[in-house]
Amino acid sequence: MGVVDEPAGQAGAALLGPADIRRLAASLGVNPTKRLGQNFVIDAGTIRRIVSLAGLVPDDAVLEVGPGLGSLTLGLVEAASRVIAVEIDPALAAELPVTVAARAPALADRLTVVTGDAVTLGELPGDQPTILVANLPYNVAVPVLLNLLEAFPSIGRALVMVQAEVADRICAPPGSRTYGIPSVKIAWYGQARRVGAVSRTVFWPAPNVDSALVGFTRWPESAGQAAGVSRAAVFEVIDAAFAQRRKTLRAALASWAGSADAAERVLVAAGIDPALRGETIPVTQYIRIVQAAGSARSIIESWRA
């Protein structure tokens, strides 16, 4: 649903309405592209809802990915002490500080804009982000989320808007139809939960699918850290298990372990039924598989010595 454009305020931020969005896009010669996943939020009510659900506190440093024309950015600078906005489109990145300065002059110094690709982003200037709040591009939502959680351990919470189908995959429990690689890998870092639906009508241009809001809370200490195993080793097993989704773990992990018999020995040592499929076990059991494999290799190496 559309909203009436809001007049600029002195202390707060005047959020963008539909006419503002179209006017800004036209002035920049921006035609939203599917390649960059550009669907701009035109509903101020949706922006307020996202900011409220994020539960921001004044000393939060917010990381926003894909700010576009600044719809969400304007809501975020009101509620947090710092917003780091990462935008891949140079023209949009250059215009964002201008928009914030015009519509929230008293808050403009809270914004830092970084031109870059969040899929490969590895560092940010200044204080590190404490929370990720973003309307993630549909086509790269999962790679962006996984990269940022790994690259910035300071991110303890997140609230992201993604395609509804992607939200289902991120939040799916073991054994469900949508449980897969995104579900398990996100669970390495923390707990994801679906916190709301978003209609396609709040975007311009309107996408062909509905969206959903996903909340995330990082574990104080991951099970992998407690077990002393590396993320790379666990993710390697996850990838192998789901590369042949319908096969048993004994068969799916054969190449990873060296043979089906070796995979079975590791699985048994980990206390996992070799006849199970990868889609039925949680990340904690993938961690146990890596632990068991490490123990088995240590024993073999001691025999050889």
Task: Name the 3-class secondary structure at 135.
Answer: strand
- Residues 6 or more apart whose CB falls under 8 angstroms from that of 23 comprise none
CB 148 within 8 A of CB 155: yes
Rounded mean pLDDT, 176-184: 97
Whether 16 shows a pLDDT value over 60: the answer reads yes
CA distance 184 to 201: 31
Confidence of residue 109 (pLDDT cuts 50, 70, 90): very high
Query: What is the reported pLDDT for 206?
Result: 85
Confidence of residue 43 (pLDDT cuts 50, 70, 90): very high
Query: What is the reported pLDDT for 12?
Result: 72
At 46-88, the pLDDT tens digits run: 999 999 999 999 899 999 999 999 999 999 999 999 999 999 9
Q: Identify the DSSP state of 9.
A: -
Query: What is the reported pLDDT for 34?
Result: 58
CA distance 163 to 55: 22
Rounded mean pLDDT, 106-118: 97
Query: What is the reported pLDDT for 296?
Result: 63
* Of residues 139, 97, 96, 140, the one with CA closest to residue 121: 140
Q: Which residue bears the tokens 């995330």?
A: 216
User: 285-296 in b/e burial notation, b at 16+ Cβ within 10 A?
Assistant: bbbbbbbbbbeb
| Cβ count within 10 A of residue 301 | 9
Chain-centroid distance, C-alpha 6: 30
At 134-178, the pLDDT tens digits run: 999 888 999 999 999 999 999 999 999 999 999 999 999 999 999
Instruction: Quote the Cα angle for 137-93-141, to 5°.
Output: 15
Structural domains of the chain, ranges and CATH numbers in brackets? 18-220 (3.40.50.150), 225-304 (1.10.8.100)
The pTM is what? 0.90
Query: What is the reported pLDDT for 9?
Result: 39
Sign (positive/negative) of CA torsion 184, 186, 187, 189? positive
Task: Name the 3-class secondary structure at 95.
Answer: helix
Name residue 289's amino acid.
Answer: I
Residue scoring higher pLDDT (304 or 169) = 169
Query: What is the reported pLDDT for 31?
Result: 79
Query: What is the reported pLDDT for 30?
Result: 85
Instruction: Quote the Cα angle for 273-276-280, to 5°.
Output: 120
CA distance 13 to 93: 19
* Of residues 219, 226, 213, the one with CA closest to residue 188: 219
Query: What is the reported pLDDT for 8?
Result: 39
Query: What is the reported pLDDT for 204?
Result: 87
Residue scoring higher pLDDT (12 or 247) = 247
At 274-303, the pLDDT tens digits run: 999 999 999 999 999 999 999 866 444 433
Query: What is the reported pLDDT for 257?
Result: 96
